[in-house]
Structure 1
Amino acid sequence: MKYKYPILPGTAEWKNFKSTAEMIDACNIPSDVLANLSTKELWDVCLQYPLLRQYTASNSPYRGIQGIIDVFNGLTELMRRDDAHKVIYGYYLTEEIANINNTKNKGAYTFDFCAIELILAQKPIISRFSREEKLNVLTTMLEKYDEKSSYSEYFGMFGKVATAFAANKYAEATGKTKRADNEQFRLFTEEMLLADASHVDTILSELVEYQKSTK
Protein backbone atom coordinates (compact mmCIF):
# COMPACT_ATOMS: atom_id res chain seq x y z
CA MET A 1 0.00 0.00 0.00
CA LYS A 2 1.34 3.41 -0.94
CA TYR A 3 0.37 6.79 0.45
CA LYS A 4 1.04 10.23 -0.97
CA TYR A 5 0.55 13.46 0.95
CA PRO A 6 -2.40 15.30 -0.59
CA ILE A 7 -0.85 18.76 -0.28
CA LEU A 8 2.86 19.47 -0.71
CA PRO A 9 5.13 22.50 -0.22
CA GLY A 10 5.27 24.68 -3.31
CA THR A 11 1.68 24.05 -4.33
CA ALA A 12 -0.99 26.74 -4.35
CA GLU A 13 -2.88 24.93 -1.59
CA TRP A 14 0.19 24.87 0.63
CA LYS A 15 0.83 28.56 0.09
CA ASN A 16 -2.71 29.29 1.27
CA PHE A 17 -2.04 27.88 4.74
CA LYS A 18 -2.05 30.57 7.40
CA SER A 19 -0.19 28.67 10.13
CA THR A 20 2.11 25.77 10.86
CA ALA A 21 -0.80 24.08 12.63
CA GLU A 22 -2.73 23.99 9.34
CA MET A 23 0.28 22.42 7.62
CA ILE A 24 0.59 19.79 10.35
CA ASP A 25 -3.11 18.93 10.10
CA ALA A 26 -2.89 18.60 6.32
CA CYS A 27 0.06 16.20 6.59
CA ASN A 28 -1.41 13.84 9.18
CA ILE A 29 -2.30 10.46 7.70
CA PRO A 30 -5.98 9.36 7.73
CA SER A 31 -6.48 6.83 10.53
CA ASP A 32 -7.84 4.12 8.22
CA VAL A 33 -4.79 4.44 5.97
CA LEU A 34 -2.41 4.55 8.92
CA ALA A 35 -3.78 1.30 10.33
CA ASN A 36 -3.20 -0.52 7.05
CA LEU A 37 0.34 0.61 6.33
CA SER A 38 3.04 -1.97 6.98
CA THR A 39 5.92 -0.71 9.12
CA LYS A 40 8.14 -0.54 6.04
CA GLU A 41 5.48 1.46 4.17
CA LEU A 42 4.97 3.71 7.18
CA TRP A 43 8.69 4.40 7.44
CA ASP A 44 8.81 5.33 3.75
CA VAL A 45 5.94 7.75 4.31
CA CYS A 46 7.65 9.26 7.35
CA LEU A 47 10.83 9.86 5.34
CA GLN A 48 8.74 11.95 2.93
CA TYR A 49 7.03 13.98 5.68
CA PRO A 50 6.98 17.57 4.33
CA LEU A 51 7.76 19.14 7.70
CA LEU A 52 10.51 16.75 8.79
CA ARG A 53 13.33 19.25 8.39
CA GLN A 54 11.71 21.67 10.81
CA TYR A 55 13.59 19.85 13.56
CA THR A 56 16.64 21.89 12.57
CA ALA A 57 14.93 25.07 13.79
CA SER A 58 15.13 23.86 17.41
CA ASN A 59 18.05 24.76 19.68
CA SER A 60 18.13 21.02 20.37
CA PRO A 61 17.60 19.04 17.14
CA TYR A 62 16.96 15.97 19.31
CA ARG A 63 14.05 17.73 21.01
CA GLY A 64 13.03 19.08 17.63
CA ILE A 65 12.61 15.54 16.33
CA GLN A 66 10.67 14.61 19.45
CA GLY A 67 8.36 17.56 18.83
CA ILE A 68 7.67 16.32 15.31
CA ILE A 69 7.00 12.81 16.63
CA ASP A 70 4.44 14.31 19.02
CA VAL A 71 2.47 16.15 16.32
CA PHE A 72 2.83 13.89 13.26
CA ASN A 73 0.72 10.79 13.64
CA GLY A 74 2.90 8.84 11.22
CA LEU A 75 5.95 9.03 13.48
CA THR A 76 3.79 8.66 16.59
CA GLU A 77 2.49 5.38 15.21
CA LEU A 78 5.96 4.31 14.11
CA MET A 79 7.24 4.61 17.68
CA ARG A 80 4.55 2.10 18.72
CA ARG A 81 5.40 -0.55 16.13
CA ASP A 82 7.27 -3.53 17.58
CA ASP A 83 9.41 -3.92 14.47
CA ALA A 84 10.12 -0.23 13.89
CA HIS A 85 13.68 -0.49 15.19
CA LYS A 86 14.54 -3.19 12.67
CA VAL A 87 12.99 -1.31 9.76
CA ILE A 88 14.68 2.01 10.57
CA TYR A 89 18.06 0.44 11.27
CA GLY A 90 17.82 -1.71 8.14
CA TYR A 91 17.30 1.43 6.07
CA TYR A 92 20.10 3.31 7.83
CA LEU A 93 22.51 0.41 7.45
CA THR A 94 22.03 0.09 3.70
CA GLU A 95 21.79 3.78 2.81
CA GLU A 96 25.05 4.79 1.14
CA ILE A 97 26.04 8.35 1.87
CA ALA A 98 27.66 8.48 -1.57
CA ASN A 99 24.08 8.77 -2.86
CA ILE A 100 24.41 12.45 -2.05
CA ASN A 101 26.32 12.74 -5.33
CA ASN A 102 23.10 11.94 -7.19
CA THR A 103 20.97 14.38 -5.20
CA LYS A 104 20.16 17.87 -6.44
CA ASN A 105 19.44 19.32 -2.99
CA LYS A 106 22.47 18.15 -1.05
CA GLY A 107 21.61 20.28 1.97
CA ALA A 108 18.22 18.59 2.26
CA TYR A 109 19.88 15.19 1.98
CA THR A 110 22.20 15.91 4.91
CA PHE A 111 19.35 17.10 7.14
CA ASP A 112 17.22 14.07 6.22
CA PHE A 113 20.07 11.67 6.92
CA CYS A 114 20.77 13.25 10.30
CA ALA A 115 17.04 13.06 11.07
CA ILE A 116 17.26 9.28 10.65
CA GLU A 117 20.05 9.16 13.22
CA LEU A 118 18.02 11.23 15.67
CA ILE A 119 14.97 9.02 15.17
CA LEU A 120 17.17 6.01 15.88
CA ALA A 121 18.28 7.82 19.05
CA GLN A 122 14.76 7.90 20.49
CA LYS A 123 14.25 5.80 23.63
CA PRO A 124 11.37 3.66 22.26
CA ILE A 125 13.65 2.61 19.38
CA ILE A 126 16.83 2.02 21.40
CA SER A 127 14.97 -0.02 24.02
CA ARG A 128 13.84 -2.64 21.49
CA PHE A 129 17.37 -3.66 20.51
CA SER A 130 19.28 -6.32 22.44
CA ARG A 131 22.64 -5.28 23.86
CA GLU A 132 24.46 -6.96 21.00
CA GLU A 133 22.23 -5.21 18.48
CA LYS A 134 22.84 -1.86 20.17
CA LEU A 135 26.57 -2.40 19.80
CA ASN A 136 25.99 -3.18 16.11
CA VAL A 137 24.10 0.09 15.70
CA LEU A 138 26.92 1.94 17.46
CA THR A 139 29.46 0.38 15.08
CA THR A 140 27.32 1.31 12.08
CA MET A 141 27.01 4.91 13.26
CA LEU A 142 30.77 5.24 13.60
CA GLU A 143 31.16 3.79 10.10
CA LYS A 144 28.61 6.27 8.77
CA TYR A 145 30.57 9.04 10.47
CA ASP A 146 33.64 8.00 8.49
CA GLU A 147 31.53 8.10 5.32
CA LYS A 148 30.22 11.55 6.24
CA SER A 149 33.80 12.75 6.62
CA SER A 150 34.29 12.23 2.89
CA TYR A 151 31.45 14.70 2.32
CA SER A 152 32.22 17.18 5.06
CA GLU A 153 31.62 20.10 2.72
CA TYR A 154 27.95 19.12 2.77
CA PHE A 155 27.45 17.63 6.23
CA GLY A 156 29.62 20.17 8.04
CA MET A 157 29.59 20.36 11.82
CA PHE A 158 25.92 19.42 12.03
CA GLY A 159 26.59 16.01 10.53
CA LYS A 160 29.33 15.33 13.04
CA VAL A 161 27.19 16.50 15.97
CA ALA A 162 24.22 14.31 14.98
CA THR A 163 26.34 11.15 14.77
CA ALA A 164 28.20 11.86 18.01
CA PHE A 165 24.95 12.43 19.88
CA ALA A 166 23.07 9.41 18.49
CA ALA A 167 26.03 7.03 18.81
CA ASN A 168 26.62 8.12 22.39
CA LYS A 169 23.00 7.25 23.22
CA TYR A 170 23.67 3.70 22.06
CA ALA A 171 26.98 3.50 23.89
CA GLU A 172 25.37 4.59 27.15
CA ALA A 173 22.55 2.09 26.61
CA THR A 174 25.14 -0.69 26.52
CA GLY A 175 27.05 0.39 29.61
CA LYS A 176 29.32 3.29 28.69
CA THR A 177 29.80 5.47 31.75
CA LYS A 178 27.96 8.78 31.63
CA ARG A 179 29.94 11.94 32.16
CA ALA A 180 28.90 13.49 35.47
CA ASP A 181 31.78 15.90 35.99
CA ASN A 182 31.03 18.44 33.29
CA GLU A 183 27.75 20.29 32.79
CA GLN A 184 28.48 21.10 29.17
CA PHE A 185 29.07 17.45 28.34
CA ARG A 186 25.87 16.54 30.16
CA LEU A 187 23.85 19.09 28.22
CA PHE A 188 25.15 17.72 24.96
CA THR A 189 24.84 14.00 25.69
CA GLU A 190 21.36 14.36 27.21
CA GLU A 191 19.82 17.27 25.29
CA MET A 192 22.02 17.76 22.20
CA LEU A 193 22.80 21.30 23.31
CA LEU A 194 26.33 22.14 22.19
CA ALA A 195 28.33 24.83 23.99
CA ASP A 196 31.82 23.78 22.93
CA ALA A 197 32.45 22.18 19.53
CA SER A 198 35.63 20.50 20.79
CA HIS A 199 33.46 18.26 22.97
CA VAL A 200 32.19 16.49 19.86
CA ASP A 201 35.66 15.29 18.89
CA THR A 202 36.26 14.18 22.47
CA ILE A 203 33.05 12.16 22.53
CA LEU A 204 33.73 10.60 19.13
CA SER A 205 37.21 9.54 20.28
CA GLU A 206 35.72 8.03 23.43
CA LEU A 207 33.10 6.19 21.37
CA VAL A 208 35.74 4.65 19.11
CA GLU A 209 37.69 3.43 22.15
CA TYR A 210 34.54 2.14 23.83
CA GLN A 211 33.48 0.30 20.68
CA LYS A 212 36.90 -1.35 20.44
CA SER A 213 36.71 -2.44 24.10
CA THR A 214 33.43 -4.27 23.54
CA LYS A 215 34.77 -6.53 20.78
Structure 2
Amino acid sequence: MRKIELFVIAMLWSSVASAQLSLRWNYPCKPGTECWNALTSVAERQNACQIKGIDLKTLSTEELLLITMEHPFFRSYVAHDSPLEGLGFALEGFNGFEEFKRRPDAMKAACEIYFKEDFSKVEAFPDSAEMGAYSLKWIGVELIMSDKALLNQMSSREKTDFLKRLHASLLIKQRYRDVFGGISDAVTAYIFDKVMHSMGIEIVESQFYADGIVAFEERLIARDPGLIELLLNKFTEYVKNH
Protein backbone atom coordinates (compact mmCIF):
# COMPACT_ATOMS: atom_id res chain seq x y z
CA MET A 1 0.00 0.00 0.00
CA ARG A 2 1.35 3.43 -0.88
CA LYS A 3 1.89 5.85 1.98
CA ILE A 4 -0.27 8.47 0.28
CA GLU A 5 -3.28 6.22 0.92
CA LEU A 6 -2.82 6.71 4.65
CA PHE A 7 -3.55 10.41 4.17
CA VAL A 8 -6.93 9.64 2.63
CA ILE A 9 -7.88 6.93 5.11
CA ALA A 10 -7.00 8.97 8.18
CA MET A 11 -9.07 11.89 6.93
CA LEU A 12 -11.98 9.60 6.05
CA TRP A 13 -12.22 8.05 9.49
CA SER A 14 -11.67 11.35 11.28
CA SER A 15 -15.23 12.29 10.36
CA VAL A 16 -16.59 9.25 12.19
CA ALA A 17 -14.16 9.19 15.12
CA SER A 18 -15.30 7.44 18.26
CA ALA A 19 -16.28 9.37 21.35
CA GLN A 20 -13.44 10.80 23.39
CA LEU A 21 -12.17 8.36 25.98
CA SER A 22 -11.07 9.29 29.48
CA LEU A 23 -7.40 8.67 28.77
CA ARG A 24 -4.49 10.39 30.45
CA TRP A 25 -3.00 11.00 27.01
CA ASN A 26 -4.71 11.51 23.69
CA TYR A 27 -3.46 12.62 20.30
CA PRO A 28 -3.02 16.42 20.32
CA CYS A 29 -2.24 16.32 16.59
CA LYS A 30 -4.81 14.36 14.58
CA PRO A 31 -7.01 14.70 11.50
CA GLY A 32 -9.04 17.88 11.55
CA THR A 33 -6.54 19.93 13.58
CA GLU A 34 -4.35 22.75 12.28
CA CYS A 35 -1.31 20.83 13.44
CA TRP A 36 -2.23 17.83 11.30
CA ASN A 37 -3.05 19.92 8.25
CA ALA A 38 0.34 21.64 8.45
CA LEU A 39 2.19 18.33 8.07
CA THR A 40 3.05 17.28 4.53
CA SER A 41 4.07 13.62 4.71
CA VAL A 42 2.98 10.36 6.30
CA ALA A 43 6.31 10.16 8.14
CA GLU A 44 5.68 13.56 9.73
CA ARG A 45 2.19 12.56 10.76
CA GLN A 46 3.34 9.24 12.18
CA ASN A 47 5.95 11.11 14.21
CA ALA A 48 3.30 13.54 15.43
CA CYS A 49 1.36 10.56 16.80
CA GLN A 50 4.16 9.51 19.17
CA ILE A 51 3.29 9.64 22.86
CA LYS A 52 5.16 12.58 24.36
CA GLY A 53 5.10 14.47 27.63
CA ILE A 54 4.36 11.43 29.78
CA ASP A 55 6.48 8.49 30.91
CA LEU A 56 5.23 5.41 29.06
CA LYS A 57 5.92 3.27 32.11
CA THR A 58 3.29 5.22 34.07
CA LEU A 59 0.58 4.19 31.60
CA SER A 60 -1.23 0.95 32.33
CA THR A 61 -1.23 -1.81 29.73
CA GLU A 62 -4.94 -1.21 29.16
CA GLU A 63 -4.32 2.51 28.60
CA LEU A 64 -1.60 1.76 26.06
CA LEU A 65 -3.95 -0.43 24.04
CA LEU A 66 -6.83 2.05 24.22
CA ILE A 67 -4.50 4.81 23.05
CA THR A 68 -3.30 2.58 20.20
CA MET A 69 -6.91 1.95 19.17
CA GLU A 70 -7.39 5.71 18.77
CA HIS A 71 -4.29 6.10 16.57
CA PRO A 72 -5.30 8.07 13.45
CA PHE A 73 -3.98 5.33 11.17
CA PHE A 74 -5.25 2.36 13.20
CA ARG A 75 -8.05 1.39 10.81
CA SER A 76 -6.00 1.86 7.65
CA TYR A 77 -5.06 -1.83 7.60
CA VAL A 78 -8.26 -2.38 5.62
CA ALA A 79 -6.67 -0.82 2.51
CA HIS A 80 -3.88 -3.40 2.45
CA ASP A 81 -3.98 -6.81 0.74
CA SER A 82 -2.76 -8.30 4.00
CA PRO A 83 -4.50 -6.81 7.05
CA LEU A 84 -1.63 -8.05 9.22
CA GLU A 85 0.94 -6.19 7.17
CA GLY A 86 -1.38 -3.22 6.92
CA LEU A 87 -1.69 -2.90 10.68
CA GLY A 88 2.05 -3.29 11.09
CA PHE A 89 2.62 -0.53 8.57
CA ALA A 90 0.04 1.77 10.17
CA LEU A 91 1.57 1.42 13.64
CA GLU A 92 5.18 1.26 12.48
CA GLY A 93 7.44 2.86 15.08
CA PHE A 94 4.57 3.97 17.33
CA ASN A 95 6.06 4.01 20.81
CA GLY A 96 2.75 3.37 22.57
CA PHE A 97 2.18 0.12 20.70
CA GLU A 98 5.79 -0.97 21.11
CA GLU A 99 5.51 -0.44 24.87
CA PHE A 100 2.21 -2.35 24.93
CA LYS A 101 3.75 -5.39 23.24
CA ARG A 102 6.60 -5.42 25.76
CA ARG A 103 4.20 -5.79 28.68
CA PRO A 104 3.90 -9.32 30.12
CA ASP A 105 0.17 -8.74 30.66
CA ALA A 106 -0.50 -7.46 27.12
CA MET A 107 -2.77 -10.36 26.16
CA LYS A 108 -4.65 -10.20 29.45
CA ALA A 109 -5.30 -6.49 28.92
CA ALA A 110 -6.41 -7.05 25.32
CA CYS A 111 -8.86 -9.74 26.41
CA GLU A 112 -10.28 -7.60 29.20
CA ILE A 113 -10.94 -4.74 26.80
CA TYR A 114 -12.19 -6.85 23.90
CA PHE A 115 -14.51 -9.17 25.79
CA LYS A 116 -16.17 -6.32 27.66
CA GLU A 117 -17.40 -4.90 24.36
CA ASP A 118 -21.04 -5.48 23.41
CA PHE A 119 -21.03 -5.78 19.62
CA SER A 120 -24.80 -5.62 19.45
CA LYS A 121 -24.54 -1.88 20.10
CA VAL A 122 -24.12 -1.42 16.34
CA GLU A 123 -27.91 -1.56 16.13
CA ALA A 124 -28.04 1.92 17.64
CA PHE A 125 -25.52 3.52 15.29
CA PRO A 126 -27.07 6.18 13.03
CA ASP A 127 -25.28 5.38 9.77
CA SER A 128 -23.10 2.90 7.92
CA ALA A 129 -19.99 5.09 8.20
CA GLU A 130 -20.05 4.92 11.98
CA MET A 131 -20.74 1.20 11.84
CA GLY A 132 -17.78 0.69 9.54
CA ALA A 133 -15.40 2.67 11.73
CA TYR A 134 -16.57 0.72 14.77
CA SER A 135 -16.14 -2.70 13.18
CA LEU A 136 -12.68 -1.89 11.83
CA LYS A 137 -11.52 -0.72 15.24
CA TRP A 138 -12.47 -3.98 16.95
CA ILE A 139 -11.23 -6.19 14.13
CA GLY A 140 -7.96 -4.30 14.56
CA VAL A 141 -7.88 -5.45 18.18
CA GLU A 142 -8.41 -9.01 16.98
CA LEU A 143 -5.41 -8.62 14.68
CA ILE A 144 -3.35 -7.52 17.67
CA MET A 145 -4.54 -10.53 19.69
CA SER A 146 -3.42 -12.86 16.89
CA ASP A 147 0.23 -12.04 17.58
CA LYS A 148 2.18 -15.19 18.39
CA ALA A 149 4.08 -13.62 21.27
CA LEU A 150 0.85 -12.41 22.88
CA LEU A 151 -0.86 -15.78 22.43
CA ASN A 152 2.09 -17.44 24.14
CA GLN A 153 1.46 -15.35 27.24
CA MET A 154 -1.48 -17.68 27.93
CA SER A 155 -1.41 -21.17 29.41
CA SER A 156 -3.15 -24.05 27.61
CA ARG A 157 -6.18 -23.71 29.88
CA GLU A 158 -6.30 -19.97 29.31
CA LYS A 159 -6.15 -20.54 25.56
CA THR A 160 -9.16 -22.85 25.73
CA ASP A 161 -11.12 -20.31 27.76
CA PHE A 162 -10.03 -17.58 25.35
CA LEU A 163 -11.31 -19.55 22.36
CA LYS A 164 -14.67 -20.12 24.02
CA ARG A 165 -15.11 -16.41 24.62
CA LEU A 166 -13.87 -15.56 21.13
CA HIS A 167 -16.40 -17.96 19.62
CA ALA A 168 -19.22 -16.38 21.63
CA SER A 169 -18.18 -12.97 20.29
CA LEU A 170 -18.07 -14.36 16.76
CA LEU A 171 -21.67 -15.56 17.00
CA ILE A 172 -22.78 -12.06 17.98
CA LYS A 173 -20.82 -10.43 15.16
CA GLN A 174 -22.24 -12.87 12.64
CA ARG A 175 -25.70 -11.52 13.44
CA TYR A 176 -24.41 -8.25 11.96
CA ARG A 177 -22.52 -9.64 9.00
CA ASP A 178 -23.33 -6.56 6.92
CA VAL A 179 -21.34 -4.52 9.44
CA PHE A 180 -18.43 -6.80 10.32
CA GLY A 181 -18.15 -8.52 6.94
CA GLY A 182 -16.02 -11.42 5.80
CA ILE A 183 -12.85 -9.94 7.26
CA SER A 184 -14.22 -10.58 10.74
CA ASP A 185 -14.69 -14.28 9.97
CA ALA A 186 -11.22 -14.46 8.40
CA VAL A 187 -9.46 -12.86 11.36
CA THR A 188 -11.30 -15.08 13.84
CA ALA A 189 -10.40 -18.17 11.80
CA TYR A 190 -6.80 -16.96 11.71
CA ILE A 191 -6.68 -16.59 15.50
CA PHE A 192 -8.15 -20.06 15.97
CA ASP A 193 -5.53 -21.54 13.64
CA LYS A 194 -2.75 -19.69 15.47
CA VAL A 195 -3.91 -20.93 18.87
CA MET A 196 -4.15 -24.49 17.59
CA HIS A 197 -0.61 -24.26 16.21
CA SER A 198 0.63 -22.95 19.55
CA MET A 199 -0.79 -26.10 21.16
CA GLY A 200 0.79 -28.36 18.53
CA ILE A 201 -2.43 -29.04 16.60
CA GLU A 202 -2.53 -28.68 12.80
CA ILE A 203 -5.92 -28.10 11.18
CA VAL A 204 -5.58 -27.38 7.45
CA GLU A 205 -2.12 -28.47 6.26
CA SER A 206 -3.27 -31.64 4.52
CA GLN A 207 -6.41 -30.24 2.90
CA PHE A 208 -5.30 -27.20 0.88
CA TYR A 209 -2.55 -26.23 -1.52
CA ALA A 210 0.67 -25.30 0.25
CA ASP A 211 0.91 -21.81 -1.26
CA GLY A 212 -2.63 -21.01 -0.16
CA ILE A 213 -1.91 -22.15 3.38
CA VAL A 214 1.30 -20.11 3.54
CA ALA A 215 -0.47 -16.98 2.29
CA PHE A 216 -3.09 -17.39 4.99
CA GLU A 217 -0.90 -18.41 7.91
CA GLU A 218 1.84 -15.85 7.23
CA ARG A 219 -0.11 -12.93 5.77
CA LEU A 220 -3.79 -13.59 6.51
CA ILE A 221 -4.65 -13.69 2.82
CA ALA A 222 -7.42 -16.21 2.13
CA ARG A 223 -7.49 -17.12 -1.56
CA ASP A 224 -9.88 -20.01 -0.98
CA PRO A 225 -13.07 -19.20 0.98
CA GLY A 226 -13.30 -22.89 1.78
CA LEU A 227 -10.32 -22.45 4.08
CA ILE A 228 -12.16 -19.95 6.27
CA GLU A 229 -15.29 -22.10 6.28
CA LEU A 230 -13.30 -25.17 7.33
CA LEU A 231 -11.53 -23.34 10.14
CA LEU A 232 -14.75 -21.84 11.50
CA ASN A 233 -16.42 -25.25 11.43
CA LYS A 234 -13.44 -26.72 13.27
CA PHE A 235 -13.62 -23.82 15.70
CA THR A 236 -17.27 -24.56 16.49
CA GLU A 237 -16.46 -28.25 16.89
CA TYR A 238 -13.58 -27.45 19.24
CA VAL A 239 -15.73 -25.24 21.46
CA LYS A 240 -18.49 -27.87 21.65
CA ASN A 241 -15.97 -30.50 22.74
CA HIS A 242 -14.30 -28.35 25.36
- TM-score where L is the length of structure 2: 0.82
Which deviations, in whole Å up to 9, do the C-alpha atoms of 1:101-130 show, x marking residues without a partner? 344511001101100111001122111111
Unpaired segments ≥5 residues, structure 1: none
User: 1:43, CA displacement in angstroms?
Assistant: 1.9
Distance in 2, matches of 1:73 and 1:158, equals: 27
* Aligned equivalent of 1:17, options 30, 39, 42: 39
Amino acid of the residue matched to residue 93 of structure 1?
A: F
Could you tell me which residue of structure 1 aligns to residue 61 of structure 2? 39
Contact residue 85 and residue 125 of structure 1 kept, 8 A: yes
User: 1:150, CA displacement in angstroms?
Assistant: 0.8
- Is 2:76 the counterpart of 1:54? yes
Amino acid of the residue matched to residue 99 of structure 2?
A: E
Structure 2 matches for 1:66-81, cutoff 5 A? Answer: 66-81=88-103
Counterparts in 2 of 1:112 and 1:37: CA distance versus 1, 3 Å: same
* Aligned equivalent of 1:2, options 16, 24, 31: 24
Could you tell me which residue of structure 2 aligns to residue 157 of structure 1? 182
Distance in 2, matches of 1:209 and 1:173, equals: 18
Distance in 1, matches of 2:77 and 2:237, equals: 30
Greater Cα shift, 168-177 or 114-123: 168-177
Instruction: Report SS of the residue matched to 1:59.
Output: coil
User: 1:194, CA displacement in angstroms?
Assistant: 1.5
- Is 2:170 the counterpart of 1:145? yes
Report how many aligned residue pairs link the two structures: 214
Distance in 2, matches of 1:69 and 1:14, equals: 17
Instruction: Report SS of the residue matched to 1:180.
Output: coil
Which deviations, in whole Å up to 9, do the C-alpha atoms of 1:36-55 show, x marking residues without a partner? 21112222211211110122
Greater Cα shift, 9-18 or 72-81: 9-18
- Is 2:204 the counterpart of 1:179? yes
Could you tell me which residue of structure 2 aligns to residue 86 of structure 1? 108
Unpaired segments ≥5 residues, structure 2: 1-22
- Is 2:161 the counterpart of 1:136? yes
Aligned-residue Cα RMSD (Å) equals: 1.8
Greater Cα shift, 177-186 or 117-126: 177-186
User: 1:174, CA displacement in angstroms?
Assistant: 2.3
Distance in 1, matches of 2:75 and 2:113, equals: 18
Could you tell me which residue of structure 2 aligns to residue 30 of structure 1? 52
User: 1:69, CA displacement in angstroms?
Assistant: 4.3
Distance in 2, matches of 1:36 and 1:80, equals: 14
Could you tell me which residue of structure 1 aligns to residue 12 of structure 2? none
Contact residue 167 and residue 239 of structure 2 kept, 8 A: no
User: 1:188, CA displacement in angstroms?
Assistant: 1.2
Could you tell me which residue of structure 2 aligns to residue 197 of structure 1? 225
- TM-score where L is the length of structure 1: 0.91
Distance in 2, matches of 1:123 and 1:106, equals: 29
Structure 2 matches for 1:114-129, cutoff 5 A? Answer: 114-129=139-154
